[in-house]
Amino acid sequence: MGTRGLAVIVAAALAAANVLAQAAKPRGPAGDVDLPPLSYVCTMAGDEDVIEDRPGKCRKCGMTLVPTRLDSVWTCATRPLLVVADKPGKCPVDGTALVRVTAAVSWTCKDDPAVDKLDPGTCADGSTMIKKYAARAHGNHNPQHGGQFFMAPDSWHHIEGTYLPTGVFRMHLYDDYTKPLTLKLAREISGTLVVKDPKTGGDKEIPLVRNGRYLQAALGKQPFPAQMYAKVAFKPGDRDTRFDFSFDAFSREPKVAPSATMTTATPATSPAATTPVAATAPTPAPDASSTVDPALIPVPIPETVPEMLAQLRTRTDQIRSFIDKGAFAAIYVPAFQAKDLALALDEHKKELSDDRQRVAVPAIARLVRSAYLLDAFGDLGNKQQILEAYDRFSSAVKEIESAFPARP
Amino acid sequence: MTMTARHIRLLLMAAAAVTVGALSLTPGEAHKAITSKYTYNDDVFPILRDKCARCHVAGGVAPMSLMTYDEAFPWAESIRAELVANHMPPWNAEEGFGALKAAHTLSPRELDIILTWATGGNPRGQIDQKLPPIALKNDWTMGAPDLALPLPSEFTVAADKMEDWHEFIVPTGTSEPRWVRAVDLLPGTPSIVRSATISLRTSSVAASAGASAASPVPEHVLAYWLPGQDPEPARASAFRVPAGAQLAVRIHYKKTWQFEGKALSDRSTVGIYFAKDAGPHELLTLALSAPGPSANDTNDITFTRTLNEDVQAVAVSPDDVPPNISVQMVAIQPDGSRTPMIRLSTRSDWSRRYWFERPLTFPRGTRIEVTAKLDDPDILSAAFGGPATPPAATSSPLRLTLNVVRPNAKPSAP
């Protein structure tokens, strides 16, 4: 096992880890640079999920954690980190909606890309350092080819299933950086596609055949929604893992072919970048409202109780509309926003009579629980469960509304 | 199903849920970035210490201690599932429906802190930060009892058994009748004493008559004991304990996985607290039982009992109810006003007596209405669990006990 692309982040982070840098952390409302907080990560392959907010040892392998700054940013699905925005919008390259990824943030110099600091500063030539973004393991779980994206139980392999207009199911294979697997690694993977035979209604098994770096099966044209699952063994002799797919239409490749890799440390600032947008991030999103559902856009918690209640109602309706659209994986965004609104209302409970507090506080606790329930069920993708969780959620909202007078 | 199996199952299922993953139908994340602003050391530990340490501590009855980071973080997924399902802390009554004493729950903020930590990468906090070691507290929470009665013999849970039940007969040795405000149990070996029911043996005849009795009869169940739960002393009311009474102490012993294959012995002690005031109201019991198999097919059962005298309701306990159903009790007074009393999601092994915050005064003619929904309300278990819990049969026994006092009764000697 190698440390692979992580080495880039790690070396960079190590070089920049110094007390001075931390002490110089700009803060305060007036600060023009709001740095993402320092996180301490494990560089051991397979332990990338270890993230602490203090220095120390990895709780899985004991290695010393290295500092890094992680930020949640918006970028083109097909050109990860080529363009980086701090809010949703449209990809200037191919016009698709930006997707959210977790990236490591650091600072470098235009003329000396070897410089990699955790904090902004001045370069040897007197110029101001520029911000750059690097990929982070599991930072990008977005489909790259318009299909459906899953992580394997080993937390390292990732797959994406697409259903092409030619009647072919194609499975793309990735590592933990959503980088396509090398041919050598792809060769270790085998699988079978199971699809319902429209004539007999029985299950039909079609072997997944390797074609270059992906696996595919010719299943012909199925009626939509086309449901199928793949049984995949990631190593010879491994147990099969099942991945369920449901296609409402043929998968459409994003307009621009995806870049082969997203592990280059400095894509945003590389002088070799030939694309029209050699962006120095963060690029302001061109027009967030036109492409991204407002339910996905976090907004600050308002000051007053009536505003909080109004926003809570909006978020509740947004959850409902995501459920109706089948956008289960996105439910958690408005659900957690609503949860934070409810917790903000909890801070105002002292303004209520005892009787009203007796209604409000348990209702807020129920809302917190059902927000996490919606989050969990959203990942599982079973609509019946999600609706039950939503019932609980919306009844908690109603009780909160009844406890807090709309006008104080 | 054992506690261990249940937790491990939840853990595995939750892990499977994450890996099998979602159908990502929109451009969005299949998984979330891993970050929690709350750490174990600074935020989570203080809550666990204050709210969970009586069981989730080394030597405690829970299957795992949560008092150190190393012990807690492997259970993060399980903690998430238990909190979201509202299974932990164990308090099965719905808050906000009726007013109950001593709700043993987490505040919304505490819930959010633990859930954020459990789902957000479980950060530890400062590595060299020393947290105070938390030791098991096994002591009388109400102070030393007026009468401490060690069980007459030791009981051993055999090496090849994970759980066992035993009933001890304990003579009180009292020479005169007494008013008793609370009865508690001090486990000899806390890690295996899972629950206990302490009853008066002398009133067994009266108790069996209670179900059909037209009027309230003396309460003979002195305590439903659960680990980590404070006994609730009766106020202005008391149990009448006759001279020389015998107690029946039925204990449910349960081993956690750490003790699998080991024989463990226990000798617990019953503690009795006598009432201080001279003439408290006698605690009486009124049974509320489903009349028989329900005719409808909605899987709901509703039945009522009309009070034939003025009473004050002080407590309620689900005596015999199937697990994983919801039961609601409402009082409908003669003037039509409705008083919500309790709504429960029943769980096996967590039966207790729920005390009302203040006595509820009901005039003669008040109807106590019980509605049971037999469909499993535990949607989290259904989602993460193995075999789904079959809905309870409409013919299942369903009996609750309402504890009342006669507010107009003259003070009397026990």
CB distance from A301 to chain B under 8 Å? no
d(CA B361, CA B312): 4
SS3 content of chain A, % helix, strand, coil (to 5): 30, 25, 45
Q: So where are chain A's domains?
A: 6-135, 148-247, 293-403
For B:124-153, CB contacts with A below 8 A are 124-128
- What token pair was written down for A125? 């030539």
List every span in chain B annotated with CATH 2.60.120.230.
147-281, 283-405
Q: What is the pLDDT of residue A389?
A: 92
Distance, CA of A98 to chain centre: 11
CB distance from A395 to chain B under 8 Å? no
Please name the member of A39, A54, A329 whose beta carbon is closest to the beta carbon of B127: A54
Which residue matches tokens 């299933």?
A: A161
A&B contacts, CB < 8 Å: 182
Contact B30 A141 (CB under 8 A): yes
More confidently predicted of A208 and A10: A208
Which residues of chain B, if any, have pLDDT below 50? 1-34, 203-205, 210, 385-388
- What token pair was written down for B92? 């099965």
Q: What is the pLDDT of residue A276?
A: 34
Residues of A in contact with B30 (CB under 8 A): 141-142, 149-151, 329
Read off the pLDDT band of A254 (50, 70, 90): low
In 10 A of CB A338, how many CB atoms? 27
- Those residues with Cβ within 8 angstroms of residue B265's Cβ, 6 or more apart along the chain or in another chain: B154, B155, B156, B157, B188, B189
Residues of A in contact with B128 (CB under 8 A): 56
Gap from A182 CA to chain B (nearest CA, Å): 22
Q: Which class does domain B147-281 fall in?
A: mainly beta
Distance, CA of A359 to chain centre: 36
Distance, CA of A257 to chain centre: 21
Gap from B228 CA to chain A (nearest CA, Å): 22
Residue A331: pLDDT over 50: yes
d(CA A307, CA A318): 16
Q: What is the pLDDT of residue B18?
A: 35
The pTM of the whole model exceeds 0.90: no
CB distance from A348 to chain B under 8 Å? no
Contact B383 A377 (CB under 8 A): yes
CB distance from B409 to chain A under 8 Å? no
ipTM for this prediction: 0.83
Mean pLDDT of A99-108: 79
Is residue B278 within 8 Å of residue B361, measured between CB atoms?
no
CB distance from A362 to chain B under 8 Å? yes
The kind and range of the H/E element at B118 are helix B108-119
Gap from A359 CA to chain B (nearest CA, Å): 5
Residues of B in contact with A343 (CB under 8 A): 108-109, 112
Angstrom distances, CA of residue B36 to CA of A69, A221, A347, B281: 14, 45, 21, 52
- Those residues with Cβ within 8 angstroms of residue A90's Cβ, 6 or more apart along the chain or in another chain: A96, A97, A98, A285, A286, A287, A290, A291
Residue A18: pLDDT over 80: no
d(CA A203, CA A229): 10
Residue A317: pLDDT over 80: yes
Mean pLDDT of A203-219: 88
Q: Which fold has domain A148-247?
A: Immunoglobulin-like (2.60.40)
According to DSSP, the residues that pair with A128 across neighbouring strands are A122
**Yes or no: domain B283-405 corresponds to CATH 2.40.160.20:** no
User: Which one of 3.10.20.30, 1.20.120.290, 1.10.10.10, 2.120.10.10 gives the CATH number of domain A293-403?
Assistant: 1.20.120.290
Which residue matches tokens 């037999």?
A: B374
Residue A358: pLDDT over 60: yes
> How would you classify the pairing of strands B237-241 and B281-282?
parallel
Q: Which backbone phi and psi does B330 adopt, to 5 degrees? A: -135, 140
Is residue A179 within 8 Å of residue B47, measured between CB atoms?
no
Q: Which backbone phi and psi does B302 adopt, to 5 degrees? A: -130, 130
d(CA A9, CA A262): 13
A interface mutation test: which of B10, B13, B18, B29 has the most A CBs within 10 A? B29
Contact B33 A244 (CB under 8 A): no
Q: What is the pLDDT of residue B387?
A: 43
Q: What is the pLDDT of residue B58?
A: 94
Residues of A in contact with B35 (CB under 8 A): 39, 51, 70
Burial class (CB in 10 A: 0-12, 13-18, 19+), B409: exposed
Percent of chain A residues past pLDDT 90, beyond the cut: 22
Q: What is the pLDDT of residue B298?
A: 65
Q: What is the pLDDT of residue A385?
A: 80
Q: What is the pLDDT of residue B264?
A: 96
Q: What is the pLDDT of residue B379?
A: 65
Q: What is the pLDDT of residue A248?
A: 84
In 10 A of CB A77, how many CB atoms? 23
More confidently predicted of A201 and B393: A201
A interface mutation test: which of B42, B69, B84 has the most A CBs within 10 A? B84
- What token pair was written down for A320? 């409902």
Mean pLDDT of A339-366: 93
Residues of A in contact with B340 (CB under 8 A): none
3-state secondary structure of A64: strand
Do A148-247 and A293-403 come out as alike in CATH topology? no
- What token pair was written down for B346? 């029943």
Q: Which of A199-208, A373-382, B391-400 has the lowest mean pLDDT?
A: B391-400
Mean pLDDT of A109-138: 82
Angstrom distances, CA of residue B207 to CA of A389, B210, B211, B329: 42, 5, 7, 22
More confidently predicted of A8 and B178: B178
Rama region for A220: left / alpha / beta (φ>0; ψ in -120 to 50; rest) = left
More confidently predicted of B312 and A18: B312
Angstrom distances, CA of residue A95 to CA of A91, A255, A285: 5, 8, 12
Mean pLDDT of A274-303: 53
Q: What is the pLDDT of residues B347-381, one digit of tens each?
A: 888 889 999 999 999 999 999 999 998 876 666 66
Mean pLDDT of A209-236: 87
d(CA B327, CA B400): 10
Residues of A in contact with B33 (CB under 8 A): 70, 72, 102, 139
In 10 A of CB B171, how many CB atoms? 12
- What token pair was written down for B65? 């201690």
